[in-house]
Structure 1
Amino acid sequence: MKIIINSILLTLCTLFMLSGTASAQSKSVLIIESYHSEYPWDSSYIEGIKEGMKGGYQFFTFQMDTKRTAKSEFDKSAQKAWDFYLQTKPSLVFLGDDNALKYLGPKFAAVDTPVVFLGINNNPRAYNVGSAANITGVLERPLLKRSIIEMKKIVALKKVLVLFDSGTTSKVTFDEILKGKEKIKLSGIEAHMKLVGSWEVWQETVKSAKDKGYDAVFIGLYHTIVNKDNQHIAADKVLRWTSKNTPVPPFAFWDFAVGPEKAIGGLTLFGKTQGLLAAEMATQILSGTQAGEIKVRIGEKGKLLFSKTQLQKYNIELPKSIASKATLME
């Protein structure tokens, strides 16, 4: 009888342990970043995901690091990310930004694991996941046109320079939002879009902005710039150099580019809002809703954000119509 009781207890303990393992596994979430966790956009949306996901989930992250590595390495990074997914076996995967969806979306479309993407600038169909029943997510739409028009209420603008690096997101923005046009007219403003991959060309473009008739420079992305030796230039260095050396007022489209020794401000996007919205969709999925039943959504329309230090530097006083809606930081 004692042997039978011990056998029953052992069986119950084994079942309990297996149940616990399955429960822990069902509580695990994998975030695959196109970039790296030190990148302010990534850290911001990850904060949003973790804040929005209630219920004690275990989070795994994988960094593809495609802002700082050569394009020839992207396939290898994607394979490592896939191997990490197979190792962790999460119940749901977040794919952050275009490169993660581009290189991994088709792989995930062939399995059952639900996927929520975020920070996507391109049409998901371009990455062959448009019809995948297990994939949905959040689109990111930089507010280039609206931000430029809004800033006209602050300073006189007739001709502006919109400056981006030559990375994936920049190219997609150029194609999707500006339809490949290097010059556009916006409420009487002539906006010139430039994609620059070289540090030396970037510096010359910034320094000559006033001589070429620009009233302001709008800083887009600047994270894939390399020098003449093909060495990556730290994004923070690019931004601070640009802020210090631009002969015209600098504005920005993303919150991480605003602040002392950075840009004055603008109608900006926040990574955290993308993360919160993606977390909301993920929660629905983990509660039983099929990913394919949740429509792809567009992230928040942006917030007016300004640096007090930079406003003072350029002797700019915000009009009441802007100040009443704006967030001010040092």
Structure 2
Amino acid sequence: MKTITAILLALSLGTFCGQLSAADILVVESYHPSYSWDASYTNALKAVLGDKNKLVFFQMDTKRLPATAHAEQAEKAWLTYRKLKPALVILGDDNALKYLGPRLAKESVPVVYLGINNNPRSYFDTAPSNFTGVLERPLFKRSIASLAKILKPRPKKILLLFDAGTTAKAAVNEAFEGNIWVNVFGVSAKLRLIKSWVEWKIQIAEARRHGYDAIIMGLYHTITDIDGRNIPAQQVMAWTVEHATVPLFSFWDFSVGKDMTAGGLVLSGEEQGRLAGAIAQQILSGADPSHIYPKTAEQGRYLFSRSRLNEYHLTLPAAINQVSTLVD
């Protein structure tokens, strides 16, 4: 009888301890849930961490809101953190790290970042011991090199077109070190960061006249009209596809598909979320964040739209076709 009682007590204690092991995790997104990048990495976080932990999400919405509102959004995120007192914080993309990183560095809570294009140390006076995470390094040069194999005749000049948001600036500064021209295996690529909707339209409509053979679209989510109002990303994409005078390709998977770009060697938010979730699991299991070196999601994948390739009369080379995913 004593043995049975001991077993039952052990089981009940095990169940109780298992419940205690569940953790509150605060995920601060720089952007918003309708943005495909956020949807991809948050779904991955839920898949990796959601069964045993409670994930609470706060969206800063900094792609659609003007820069003057970002600090206020960060303050709301901070108040959410103070109220929740989570066991771990995940910061999605550069604005979340920029605004909340220095404050969280003074706390004891472990922090995992993801989607960071800038050097994370640039957001701190001294490197914090409670931070680690996943860097985002778009595969710019490899993407350009792949287009050199896909486009016929071989392209001589390509336009790399981005908005002028925080993420875009950080990404291109890390990759191009302040240069606006880069030469990749004989292909000359020009980088443009665009704030204005009018200027974006001019770049798209005049691309062929200025000698470009293709456009690779980066980020296009912070474009504004003359009154400073954000132009919805779907509107930017729809207008761009309708009026482009040269083939459109992409650096990110959320821009690929019917009525969007033809694709390319792209990065995915899903990989960022999966890697960040794995790091969070290590920390929740007792690992010290200072002993986990930041990871770089460099894998990328070839993703193409059948309809857009057909529209541009393009056939993928066999070597690229064999490792590509085709949609629509």
> Please, what TM-score do these two structures have when normalized by structure 2?
0.92
> Which one of the candidate residues 66, 82, 96 is aligned to 2:62?
66
1:45 aligns with 2:41: yes
1:111 aligns with 2:107: yes
Equivalent position SS for 2:238: helix
Instruction: Measure how far apart 1:82 and its partner are.
Output: 0.4
Distance 2:299 2:176 in 1: 18
Aligned partner of 2:293 in structure 1 is 295
Aligned partner of 2:7 in structure 1 is none
Contact residue 136 and residue 296 of structure 1 kept, 8 A: yes
Alpha carbons of structure 1 residues 34 and 284: separation in structure 2 relative to 1, 3 Å: same
Distance 1:244 1:215 in 2: 17
Aligned partner of 1:220 in structure 2 is 218
Distance 2:166 2:16 in 1: 42
Equivalent position SS for 2:176: coil
> Which one of the candidate residues 193, 196, 219 is aligned to 1:195?
193
Specify the code of the residue in structure 2 equivalent to 1:226.
T
1:85 aligns with 2:81: yes
Aligned partner of 2:8 in structure 1 is none
Distance 2:51 2:39 in 1: 21
Contact residue 115 and residue 272 of structure 2 kept, 8 A: yes
Runs of 4+ that moved beyond 4 A = 19-26
Aligned partner of 2:306 in structure 1 is 308
Aligned partner of 1:10 in structure 2 is none
> Which one of the candidate residues 223, 239, 246 is aligned to 2:237?
239
Contact residue 22 and residue 54 of structure 2 kept, 8 A: no
Aligned partner of 1:127 in structure 2 is 123
Instruction: Measure how far apart 1:328 and its partner are.
Output: 0.4
Q: Percent identity?
A: 44
Instruction: Measure how far apart 1:304 and its partner are.
Output: 0.3
Specify the code of the residue in structure 2 equivalent to 1:58.
K
Specify the code of the residue in structure 1 equivalent to 2:25.
V
Aligned-residue CA RMSD (Å): 1.8
Instruction: Measure how far apart 1:301 and its partner are.
Output: 2.1
Moved more, 124-133 or 298-307: 124-133
Distance 2:251 2:295 in 1: 20
Instruction: Measure how far apart 1:174 and its partner are.
Output: 2.3
Gaps of 5+ in 1: 1-15
1:36 aligns with 2:32: yes
Alpha carbons of structure 1 residues 141 and 130: separation in structure 2 relative to 1, 3 Å: farther
Equivalent position SS for 1:262: coil
Instruction: Measure how far apart 1:300 and its partner are.
Output: 3.5
> Which one of the candidate residues 132, 138, 141 is aligned to 1:142?
138
Contact residue 22 and residue 52 of structure 2 kept, 8 A: no
Contact residue 25 and residue 91 of structure 1 kept, 8 A: no
Contact residue 138 and residue 296 of structure 1 kept, 8 A: yes
Distance 1:215 1:130 in 2: 45
Specify the code of the residue in structure 1 equivalent to 2:283.
I
Specify the code of the residue in structure 1 equivalent to 2:150.
I
Measured against aligned partners, the alpha-carbon deviations of 1:52-79 in whole angstroms (never above 9, x if no partner) come to 1264211100011110111111111111
Instruction: Measure how far apart 1:26 and its partner are.
Output: 4.8
Contact residue 139 and residue 296 of structure 1 kept, 8 A: yes
> Which one of the candidate residues 310, 321, 324 is aligned to 2:322?
324
Contact residue 25 and residue 90 of structure 1 kept, 8 A: no
Measured against aligned partners, the alpha-carbon deviations of 1:129-150 in whole angstroms (never above 9, x if no partner) come to 7621111000000111110111
1:76 aligns with 2:72: yes
Distance 2:125 2:30 in 1: 17
Alpha carbons of structure 1 residues 198 and 314: separation in structure 2 relative to 1, 3 Å: same
Gaps of 5+ in 2: 1-11
> Which one of the candidate residues 134, 142, 148 is aligned to 1:152?
148
Distance 1:84 1:21 in 2: 27
Instruction: Measure how far apart 1:241 and its partner are.
Output: 1.2
Aligned partner of 2:178 in structure 1 is 180
Distance 1:284 1:102 in 2: 24
Distance 1:148 1:287 in 2: 41
Q: How many equivalent residue pairs? A: 313
Distance 1:69 1:24 in 2: 38
> Please, what TM-score do these two structures have when normalized by structure 1?
0.92
